[in-house]
Chain A
Amino acid sequence: MRIAFEKRESVSHTVRVLVPLVSLVFALAFGALLLLFSGANPGVAYAAMARGAFGSSRALAETFVKAIPLMLTGLAVAVAFRMLFWNIGAEGQLAMGGLAATGVALFVSEGLPSWSVLPVAILVGTLAGAVWAAIPAALRAYLGVNEVITTLMMNYVAILLVSHMYHGPWRDPAGYGFPGTARFPETAWLPRLYGRAHFGLLFAVVAAAVLWFVLQRTKLGFELRIVGENPEAARYIGIDIPRLMLVAMLVSGGLAGLAGVCEVTGVMRRLQQGLTVGHGYTAIIVAWLAQLNPWAVLLVGFLLAGLLVGGDQIQMAMGLPAAVGLVLQGALLFPMLGGALFTEYRLRIVRTTPEDVGTPEELGLDEARS
């Protein structure tokens, strides 16, 4: 008798929902251990986190502020991952989007009619993100260069470039030497909905809706799915994979760039330190937890933002490190990884009887035949 993993024929809805929930419980338990270890009551701390993140309209607004970049970069990563393009560069694409929007807000805005400043900033920032993503996409599509490394390396190039700009040429001359640009003119401010939560939320929702529609209902979305699920078949039915890769990455980089635009025009209203704080990496987890579903990305982005805001809150209220949110994010993933295994496989106790030695396929005989 032995215990074996068996691939599930079909995944039932209950399992799909149950596994993430069980994973969440595991992650919270891991976090609780950590909190206990540092002498805090986990129940009290979690309650404070929940209140701090979702308990009042002010708290919700802050959670949305953190959620918007996670949602947009999460969508960006999800589009690329759909066709197995490992875009780890959302962080850099976000940075370039923010940088370009800053350029528009600071140096072009005076020459433009005031109503057009914001649309131009959004357009240019989105394009900048798309162009930054197109470089590794083209390298992969036409030269076969591994995108994991190139997107990763380009993050650092972008981050250093941004840092150079606000430390050097774009530094506010009236800023007492403080690193950061001057405040944007009001024409370049992204309007706020309530609290600090800004219009970026609408962009995220619209982007998710459009993506969902494109992925589910159009030929382009169908092709993306085929390439992601079975590249051989995609080639066989004549899909132009390099072109598709470029398109997907332009969209992906554009969304990440838009996240950067929203950060500088909606939250900071200037370019300074704090634009690149790892949203692009958290986005990978958002997209993965959401199983690349656009609507789920919005939900997961919101929940993970809640962890971060809640962490900040218990730091202020209880003196516990804000990193609790980060720990929970990291810990959330491992049970989920294990959980994903159980949605696709199941444990079964197999009785080994003489007539149950296995089919030729199981014994690898067909491999020998072919």
Chain B
Amino acid sequence: MTAIAERIGARHGTSRTRSITYGILFLVTGLAIILLFARPTAPAQISTFDLTVRADPRLMLVPQIVLPTRLTLYVFAALSALAGVWQLVAGFRRANWALGGVALIFIVAFLTWATRDGSLNVVSLLRTAFLRSVPLALAALSGVLCERSAVINISIEGMMLMGAFVGAIMGSLALNVLGWSFAVSQGFGLLSALGSGALLGLLLAVLSVRFKVDQIIAGTAINILATGVTSFFSARILSQYRFLNNPGIIPPFAIPVLSAIPIIGPVFFDHNLLVYVMMVLLIGIHVMLWYTVWGLRTRSVGEHPRAADTLGIDVFRNRYINVTAGGMVAALGGAFLVLASVGRFDRLMTAGKGFIGLAAMIFGNWTPFGAFGAATIFGFADALQTRLAILRVPIPSQFLLMTPYIVTIIVLAGVVGEANPPAADGQPYEKE
């Protein structure tokens, strides 16, 4: 009881300093927009934003947005300065939302500045951002499933890698050796990937739940094992038999009515099946966590396993189920990279995406939609990084790639936002 009181007390204590910090931060953002972007811009420069992807007659109705660069930047600067003043004088009721808004203003201001005398296709940028966020979101959802039942899963990366590998080789086997039809082969590859994820998830669960091996060490071991096994077989098999690493790419499928909506349609509803699967999973996990018996049990196991046990909930069983399911979701993220994005396995293809997913889960405060939102922000940073060279912006791509990690550390430190992990996160449960 005292622990909870302390936590609430601490939150009240920090909230005042935090609201002042936010106010100053907003003012500084406004100043930064003026100094970094508006001042070096000539009065006559113009920024053009395109809002259509293809020359589709239905979509041609959306006009271009043409803005005078310098004036627009001053408007943005004024907006965030105003937000800062309001925050300091009266205070926003939802300061974190205001923070998000100011961050958005800053990004839009940056894009406006970067496209001076040029044009930027916003829809295409957002579309890339969303596509790049899908594997991150799946990794984050895997993290949510595991950590809600108090098992820290740092082997999401390894599970993704294994899912990608198994998806590639089994899909190719079915398509190119067994001669199955394309759709069946893809399904087979996908199911095999899910199976491999389930196995690794089960392994993590057995080690950390049953044998109480430290979750960090068990997770590291799984990562190393997955890296080793996949690079062994990709060197031994895939590089010699190329047809075993060619499962093909799931074709896109535009959702009838929704994909015709201007801007939103091409960004969200004109993708391949796995993207929609991610959306369904997102909603499904949200509903299940908050509106079903399983969700209630999971959350109680994550917050207070002893109390859950007393009420007759099988703590071990719940963790087994969640971590196994988490492994499957992570493997789906890996399979997405192969079957829906690149079309072949590469041993370096996850490149830390599992860890970014973990960061997204934290940034999203251990909730499915929060995690998804964070994943889209991180996906946006990734997509933007690829455009910087085209826009001739002198920011090294590495600095944009760092943002997910730095933002996560800042959030965890409690400078902005609030991190509320499940209370029993990471602790093995010892049955009395």
Contacts and interface: CB of A to CB of B under 8 A. Distances in A.
Interface of A: 34, 38, 86, 88, 139, 143, 145-146, 148-150, 152-154, 156-157, 160-161, 163-164, 167-168, 278, 281-282, 284-285, 288, 320-331, 333-334, 337-338, 340-341, 364, 367
Interface of B: 152, 154, 203, 207, 211, 213-214, 216-218, 220-229, 231-233, 235-237, 352, 355, 358-359, 362, 396, 398-399, 401-402, 405-406, 408-409, 412-414, 419, 421, 425-426, 432
A152 B154 contact: yes
Contact of B406 (A157, A288, A320, A325): A157
Given A34-B232, A143-B414, 10 more contacts: A139-B412, A146-B421, A149-B359, A152-B355, A157-B406, A160-B401, A278-B227, A328-B228, A333-B217, A334-B225
A76 B355 CA distance: 22
Given A156-B405, A321-B235, A337-B207, A164 B398 contact: yes
B154 A148 contact: yes
Give the dominant DSSP class at A's interface: helix
Nearest to A169: B396
B413 to A, nearest CB: 5
A314 to B, nearest CB: 12
A156 B396 CA distance: 15
Contacts of B358: 149, 152
A148 B231 contact: no
A156 B355 contact: yes
B231 A326 contact: yes
Nearest to A333: B221
Nearest to B216: A86
Given A163-B398, A321-B231, A321-B232, A153 B405 contact: yes
Contacts of A143: 413-414
Nearest to A145: B412
Nearest to A336: B221
Contacts of A149: 358-359, 362, 408, 412
A114 to B, nearest CB: 34
B232 A340 contact: no
A254 B229 CA distance: 32
Give me the 5 closest cross-chain CB pairs, A-B, nearest first: A330-B225, A326-B228, A321-B235, A327-B228, A164-B398
B431 to A, nearest CB: 9
Contacts of B228: 323-331
Contacts of B414: 143, 145
Nearest to B225: A330
A109 B117 CA distance: 45
A331 B211 contact: no
B232 A324 contact: yes
B287 to A, nearest CB: 27
A364 B220 contact: no
Contacts of B396: 164, 167-168
Give the dominant DSSP class at B's interface: helix
B227 A285 contact: no
Contact of B412 (A146, A167, A322): A146
Contacts of A338: 211
5 contacts: A160-B401, A164-B398, A167-B398, A285-B221, A341-B211
Nearest to A327: B228
Contacts of B216: 86, 88, 148, 284
Most buried by A among B154, B227, B232: B232
A157 B401 CA distance: 9
Nearest to B226: A330
Contacts of B237: 38
Given A149-B359, A164-B399, A367-B432, A323 B220 contact: no
B224 A156 contact: no
Nearest to B218: A337
B224 A150 contact: no
B352 A330 contact: no
B405 A154 contact: yes
A288 B408 contact: no
Contacts of A327: 225, 228-229, 232
Contacts of B359: 149, 153
B148 to A, nearest CB: 16
Contacts of B405: 153-154, 156-157
Contacts of B203: 334
A59 B365 CA distance: 50
A326 B413 contact: no
A57 B309 CA distance: 59
B236 A320 contact: yes
Most buried by B among A88, A322, A334: A334
A148 B352 contact: no
Contacts of B408: 149, 153
A164 B406 CA distance: 16
Contacts of B362: 149
Contacts of A156: 352, 355, 402, 405
A208 B173 CA distance: 50
A152 B140 CA distance: 15
A338 to B, nearest CB: 7
A146 B427 CA distance: 13
Most buried by A among B207, B355, B412: B412
A213 B216 CA distance: 28
B330 to A, nearest CB: 16
Given A86-B216, A148-B154, A330 B413 contact: no
Contacts of A325: 228
A150 B413 CA distance: 9
Contacts of B154: 88, 148, 152
Nearest to B399: A164
Nearest to B203: A334
Contacts of B399: 160, 164
Contacts of B235: 321-323
A86 B215 CA distance: 11
Nearest to B217: A288
A161 B224 contact: no
B424 to A, nearest CB: 13
A281 B220 contact: yes
Given A34-B232, A329-B228, A338-B211, A150 B412 contact: yes
A146 B362 CA distance: 11
Nearest to B223: A281
A179 B408 CA distance: 29
A330 B224 contact: yes
B224 A282 contact: yes
